Copies of this chain bind each other. A is one copy, B any other.
Amino acid sequence: MSANSRMSLAVHILTWLAYDRRGTDKETATSQRIATSVNTNPVVIRRSLGRLKDHGLVTIDHGKGGGWSLARDAASITLLDVYCASSDDPVFGLHASDPDAECYVGYGIQPVLTRIYDRATEALRQSLAQDTIADVLRETVAVYAAGDHPPPQPRVSS
């Protein structure tokens, strides 16, 4: 919902791939299997994976038996990378309709807002840059290990 659930979706996918890579049986990583974990439609996953591929975060092996995998080590993919790949829209938007240019405030406020928004957005980005997909995977597994999980099975997906 709200603003940016695409970010959560992308992090989920990448974390899933990072976990999947550790396995040895190597069932192919298809959009269908990922969709089961995220609990949504495979097309939604493919749309997100397409963006991640365009930003060089994942690769795809086409053809029968192919599948998705991380293009780089999970420890080198920061959440800022994911954020950049997930959203084109700025956090803050300017006025829906252009202000009255004949007014002191209406004339001058937009560049001021832009400066303030840019700085705040940069602070947000710096914070996101501090975590990697490897961190998320480690913490996520820890949450699983600590919790009283409803199901007893320790496999990635169904």
Interface segment out of the listed A24-32, A56-64, A68-76, A92-100: A92-100
Please determine whether B8 and A92 come into contact, CB atoms closer than 8 angstroms.
Answer: yes
Task: State the number of copies, please.
Answer: 2
Query: Are B92 and A4 within 8 A (Cβ)?
Result: yes
Chain A residue total in the interface (Cβ 8 A): 72
Give the interface SS of chain A, mostly helix, strand, loop or mixed.
Answer: helix
**B157/A39 in contact, CB under 8 A:** no
Is B101 a contact partner of A149 (Cβ separation < 8 A)?
yes
With A91-B3, A123-B127, A124-B123 in contact, is A156–B103 under 8 Å at CB?
Answer: yes
- A102 on the interface (CB 8 Å rule)? yes
Task: Say if the beta carbon of A134 comes within 8 Å of chain B.
Answer: no
